[in-house]
A = this chain, B = another copy of it.
Amino acid sequence: MSQTLSELGSPPQLDPQTLRIVPLGGIGEIGRNMTVFELGGKLLIVDCGVLFPEDEQPGVDLILPDFSYIKDRIHDVLAVVLTHGHEDHIGAVPYLLRLRADIPLVGSQLTLALIEAKLREHRIKPYTLSVAEGQKEKFGPFECEFVAVNHSIPDALAVAIRTSAGSVLHTGDFKMDQLPLDGRITDLRSFARLGAEGIDLFLVDSTNADVPGFTTAEREIGPVLEAEFGKAERRVIVASFSSHVHRVQQVLDAASAHGRKVALVGRSMVRNMKIAADLGYLHVPDGTLVDLKAIGDLPDDQVVLMCTGSQGEPMAALSRMASRDHKVEIGQDDTVILASSLIPGNENAVFRVINGLMRLGARVVHKGTAKVHVSGHASAGELLYCYNIVRPRGVMPVHGEMRHLIANGDLAELAGVDPGRVIIADDGAVIDMKNGDAELVGKIECGLVFVDGSSVGEITEADLKDRRILADEGFVSIFVAIDFSTGKVIAGPEIHARGIAEDDKVFVDLKPKIADALLEAHKDGRANQHQLQQVVRRTVGRFASSKLRRRPMIIPVVVEA
């Protein structure tokens, strides 16, 4: 029986010999990964990412981990270790650094280059410490050792954290491609050694824990791309993630093999690939890369556009091409390749783009029709290898929804981990480790922090509920100025409705009813502004529900005139 959060209360006082682990994000969701390690009054943070909102969160730009737990002790934070450069691991760093700008950021060369570029846009110049696989660094009571892992972005790291209270190994995001393009495999030899030295708690990426078997190797995409390029009669447009250096590498190689030039489209694609090329992670075949402006001068069958927008994002290049709102005009016999996953929730948007492109005559290739994408995360088969090699005493699945965490915990148990040492946690769970024994001991308040426009954390769940009501039902606002001494209407009622089917005219009959109700209420002695507004609200609500079968948001305003 694994340890699960049932009705845990506040955690106990922390004694100086205990290591406390508190995930502030990434457990129970895919995104905003952030884990806090605390020992002897000092804090070490692993990752600080964002989560992308769902439809239930309209208007929200980003969701951050809740920093409340560490806010008062921000000066005790020794470092933030960034395992790799994806948004769900680094995206919230600019917001964390608003609390204290000089927290050292620790990560690999590429990871730091990507976060530095992001921070430049926020006008922040961070303190950084570049580390590489095999390297050890001590941050106060935390001895960190960095281990190479393979993922869908180069230069990803796992981190082992040794403390006086016990040892932790955190995989970050990883998979176990045995023949990666850059030859940098997940370092199972180091995993084996660390396991032999003793890992008390193994924090393991759960994203694909419920996917049986093994994740296909990235290099298997190459021949598929080559074949598609070979068949292409006119332009080829490839869409993928803007940080997927190896995917772009394979597109460059396929283009070069077919005598095509590649133009990068989209700000993040251009920025990230420049960084990757400058640092030597992306190898551009001579003369293959051209500027988007130069594409017009080339024959169609010598053109490749490498762009973003593979998730159907409405403002990205691909969506705009599909709706003929982009300078690149997709036409008959162009080939569009979506070399990307389909993130759950994005299906309608992506299929809308695919339908639009096909309507314009393009041939569209996607992972449903050809092997043009592989995942960046270890599947169940790989995770079993991992457990058997590390043989950890305890396991806490991370980076996943509940279904992924439980599937991962089941794998750990199958591989022989004591079920009592498998911790199925949640954001805000508090895990204490003493003498190498990790245990769920409590839970802290830890909500979703919404970024919307310039506001951070000001949008509440109540605001989102208002937005959902407004979206589903619209609103009616009623303004009336009355003489408070008599209850007689002086101006109005003015009634405005938006987002409901009927136009404002439907409310004409309602106006005398409101005036009457106000007069009546006044006679009864319900004469203050709040009471009169309630009268208006009830009158309008009854009308909307009986006549229109609706429950719009109602905003009554009664003022004295």
Contact = CB atoms under 8 A, between A and B. Distances in A.
Interface of A: 28, 54-56, 58-59, 210, 344-345, 347-348, 351, 354-356, 358-359, 364, 368-369, 401-403, 406, 452-455, 458-460, 463, 466-468, 470-475, 477, 479, 481, 490-492, 494, 496, 498-502, 548-550, 553, 555, 557, 559-561
Nearest to A551: B453
A545 to B, nearest CB: 9
B474 A470 contact: yes
29 contacts: A59-B474, A344-B347, A347-B347, A351-B403, A354-B402, A355-B403, A358-B406, A359-B402, A453-B501, A460-B501, A463-B499, A463-B501, A467-B471, A470-B471, A470-B474, A470-B475, A470-B498, A470-B499, A477-B477, A477-B557, A479-B557, A479-B559, A481-B490, A481-B492, A490-B491, A491-B561, A494-B559, A496-B555, A498-B555
Contacts of A368: 210
Copies of this protein in the complex: 2
A479 B454 CA distance: 26
Contacts of A549: 453-455
What are the 4 A-B residue pairs with the smallest beta carbon separation, nearest first?
A: A458-B501, A471-B471, A470-B470, A58-B471
B490 A561 contact: yes
Given A466-B498, A491-B559, 18 more contacts: A58-B472, A59-B471, A59-B499, A210-B369, A354-B402, A355-B401, A452-B501, A460-B501, A463-B474, A466-B474, A468-B471, A475-B475, A477-B496, A481-B490, A492-B559, A496-B555, A496-B557, A498-B553
A470 to B, nearest CB: 4
Contacts of A56: 348
Nearest to A456: B501
Given A358-B403, A471-B59, A481 B561 contact: yes
Identify whether the interface residues of A are mostly helix, strand, loop, or mixed: mixed
Contacts of A458: 501-502
Nearest to A355: B402
Contacts of A455: 501-502, 548-549
B466 A499 contact: yes
A351 B210 contact: no
Nearest to A401: B355
A471 B474 CA distance: 9
A506 B10 CA distance: 35
Contacts of A344: 347-348, 351
A469 B363 CA distance: 34
A368 B401 CA distance: 15
A241 to B, nearest CB: 19
Contacts of A553: 498
A450 B391 CA distance: 58
Nearest to A406: B358
A348 B463 contact: no
A387 B402 CA distance: 46
Contacts of A473: 59
A294 to B, nearest CB: 31
Nearest to A553: B498
